[in-house]
Amino acid sequence: MKTPPATALTGRASPGAVLAKKLTSFGNYLRQHWTLYLMLIPGLFFLFIYKLLPLYGLQIAFKDYKIFAAGDPWSAIAASEWCGFEHFAKLFGSSQFTKVLTNTLVINGLKILWLFPIPIICAILLNEIRQKIYQKLCQTLIYVPYFFSWVLIFGIFYSLLGSYGIVNNIIASLGGSRVGFFSDQSVFRSVLVFTEGWKEIGYNTIIYLAAITGIDVTLYEAARMDGANKFKQIWHITMPGLLPTIVLMLIMKVGYILTTGFEQILVFYSPAVYDVADIIETYVYRIGMGQADFSLATALGLFNAVVAFVLIVGANTVSKKTLGRSIW
């Protein structure tokens, strides 16, 4: 007696048949939209060159890397000897690692705590300005600093907050003592948070403002007819409409809590404030470029990337289970 095929017994197609069907469907879609995939080529090339290809260098973290072990640094990776987790043990046993990890969490935590709500408030206030010309003017004024480099921003604030800057001259003229905004460890973190907000709030405001424009205006009309005042309209319509964007931005902020602020701190800080301002990325830069300890720097960078991945996946999972909203 001939054995019937598995599909006849189970009523399901075999895995091979399912795969063949999906490939056929993708092939048909590719032929219909080949121009879209053609436009992807530059982006994929960039992804390969700057994101995937450098992953080969991660093995430096597990090797006793000697940059001159071969003819060029790339060949030196293969020529260097494996040392296992030696660099990670050295890294985690260092008191300096604990210090820079704490600084990173504290500085970026303060930025999230103080700066995350402000763009939401600014977007709501801008949306309530009925005169378009004033709305565009305010929007431009808070958005322009985003295009300034950190070097330029440092120059602006140093002229204001430096030892003999405008602010300290005013304090001195009033009989007070000059404040070392860039050298006093008790003040420096506040300067970082304030300047970060001055530069970045405008960009984040535009994101939330774009989300507000996507809310159905008939909801506001219905709320007004029901007697809802402006505050109730914001609380019951605007905020729920912004919630997906807020969740997305918060997940991204938490995920990158160990990998932000490098350019700003590198420009702003000095040895006088290393104890409170040296973060993981600046420490990697100093030991990698300054001390030529590429293996230890790579180990620290790999640790940073793994923790960032865990944080962003964890934040996404928590948001999905508690709020029902997530990135994926």
pTM of structure: 0.81
Place of tokens 């590719």: 30
pLDDT for position 14: 73
Please state the rounded mean pLDDT for residues 50-59.
88
What is the pLDDT at residue 3?
A: 53
Residue 252 clears pLDDT 70, i.e. is over it: yes
Cα gap 235→251, rounded to integer Å:
22
pLDDT given at position 204: 92
The stretch 213-218 carries a mean pLDDT of 90
pLDDT given for residue 322 in this prediction: 80
Residue 45 backbone phi and psi in degrees, to 5: -65, -45
pLDDT band at 11 (very low <50, low <70, confident <90, very high): low
Give the mean model confidence (pLDDT) for residues 311-316. 86
Parallel, antiparallel, or unpaired: how do β-strands 81-82 and 63-64 relate? antiparallel
pLDDT tens, residue by residue, 235-250: 999 999 999 899 889 8
* Range with the poorest average pLDDT among 92-101, 107-116, 144-153, 163-172: 92-101
Which of 11 and 32 is assigned the larger pLDDT?
32
Residues 79, 77: Cα–Cα separation, whole Å: 5
pLDDT band at 17 (very low <50, low <70, confident <90, very high): confident
Lowest mean pLDDT across 15-19, 62-66, 177-181? 15-19
pLDDT > 90? residue 290: no
